[in-house]
Amino acid sequence: MNSTNERQLVDSVTFAVRSGVAWIGFNRPQSRNAMTWEMYDALEKHCDQLAEDDTVYAVVLHGVGGEAFVAGTDISQFSGFSKPEDAIGYERRIDRVVGKLETFPKPTLALLEGACVGGGAAIALVCDFRYATPALKFGVPIAKTLGNTLSINNVTRMIDMLGVARTKEALMMARLFGADEAHAAGLINQLFDADAIYAEVAALAEAFAKRAPLTLQASKALIGRAIEQRRLPAEASDDWVTTCYMSRDFAAAVNKFVNKTPFEWSGH
């Protein structure tokens, strides 16, 4: 790769390398960059390729359009879920993609503008560093929107970053955290004005060229090993994943999104 190399796996994920930093952009601004299956696949493939590319020493993930990083997974894709394997397979897929980003051997930086919710929150949580504008809204409001649940690994990641009390607020009260509160909680490394954040994050990413590569890799790997010791097996959440995704509530919530039909939570 040269300093301006670009490649494209799908239209909805942009890619460019500038000054040794790979920039991966989620590019569905009309849907606040909600993730499709193809976008998750593209992110995974970029991680695989960049891990072997010695000319790239840092990766920045960002949303396109200025209003969102990623506003979750595209809900219309859930309309075909009909059996427990669909739900468990989806959560395993997210765990695989997010896990690959979490263990990626080079520094990763999330540039967060506006909405960073659901699947977007999961992606941001596993980046090494998070930088945001004052417009940030971070959370997982599924108790208000879909009535599904996170995998045990993503719940654990939220607890690690936010603590038990804030994780309960995020998941049970569907709270979205603003930029100042997220910064105070240690979730966001630094806040920047919208007109400055791209230049500031570029400078931070490019600075890794002057850091010892083996120290960076060792530090990330050892921190990852320590975290892994606290993780439960993936199947520890399969019972609740099945219960929530196979519920009438979940089906009605998806139908509301796709067909604009009214519904009320039933608890079934």
The full DSSP string for 144-186 is: HHT-----HHHHHHHHHHH-HHHHHHHHHS-PPEEHHHHHHTT
The rounded distance, in Å, linking the Cα atoms of 185 and 60 is 22
pLDDT in tens, 62-89: 999 999 999 999 999 999 999 999 999 9
Nearest to 13 by CA among 123, 159, 130, 145: 123
The rounded distance, in Å, linking the Cα atoms of 108 and 129 is 6
Per-residue pLDDT at 208 exceeds 70 = yes
Alpha-carbon distance values, 55 to 14, 22, 29, 106 (Å):
19, 10, 30, 11
Per-residue pLDDT at 176 exceeds 90 = yes
Q: How many CA atoms lie within 13 A of 147 on its CB side?
A: 21
Report the pLDDT averaged over residues 99-111: 97
Per-residue pLDDT at 3 exceeds 50 = no
Q: In this predicted structure, what is the pLDDT of residue 8?
A: 75
Is the four-CA dihedral 166, 246, 29, 105 of positive or negative sign?
positive
CATH of 1-194+215-268, one of 3.90.226.10, 2.60.40.680, 3.90.600.10, 3.40.50.720: 3.90.226.10
How many helical (H) and strand (E) elements, i.e. helices and strands, does the chain have?
Answer: 11, 10
Instruction: Find where tokens 């997010």 sit.
Output: 98
Burial class (CB in 10 A: 0-12, 13-18, 19+), 30: exposed
Q: In this predicted structure, what is the pLDDT of residue 5?
A: 65
The rounded distance, in Å, linking the Cα atoms of 40 and 218 is 27
- DSSP state for residue 139 in the 8-state scheme: E
What residue ranges do the domains of the chain occupy? 1-194+215-268
**In the chain, what are the helix, strand and coil shares in percent, each to the nearest 5?**
50, 15, 35
Residue 49: CB atoms within 10 Å? 15
CB 208 within 8 A of CB 57: yes
Whether pTM exceeds 0.75 = yes
The rounded distance, in Å, linking the Cα atoms of 80 and 85 is 12
pLDDT in tens, 109-161: 999 999 999 999 999 999 999 999 999 999 999 999 999 999 999 999 999 99
User: Where does the pLDDT of residue 2 fall: very low under 50, low under 70, confident under 90, or very high at 90 and above?
Assistant: very low
What percentage of the chain reaches a pLDDT higher than 70? 98
Per-residue pLDDT at 106 exceeds 50 = yes
Per-residue pLDDT at 196 exceeds 70 = yes
- Partners of 110 in beta bridges: 61, 130
Q: Which one is predicted more confidently, 7 or 19?
A: 19
